Amino acid sequence: MMMDENEITFLIRGAIFRIYNIPGAGLFENLYKHVLKCELVKVGLSVRSENSIASLLL
């Protein structure tokens, strides 16, 4: 099923709010990135992280 950008951003924002509300602020950035990636995969999104700009342009 293809989602439009509103549906995708809704899922992303929901994941961010869940992550922030459960442990709260103050965690290390790497931990937030890892947990966010897991949350996004859990809601069915395909996730790539730490890609260089050059690889995105190819």
**Which pLDDT does position 32 carry in this prediction?**
83
- Answer whether residue 7 shows pLDDT above 90: yes
Phi, psi of 28 (to 5 degrees): -70, 145
Domain ranges of the chain: 5-57
Contact at 8 Å (CB) between 40 and 47? Answer: yes
**Which pLDDT does position 22 carry in this prediction?**
74
**pLDDT tens column, 33-57:** 888 999 999 999 999 887 777 755 6
**pLDDT tens column, 9-18:** 999 999 999 8
Stretch 29-34: mean pLDDT, rounded? Answer: 84
29 vs 14, residue with greater confidence: 14
Query: 54 is written with which tokens?
Result: 């050059």
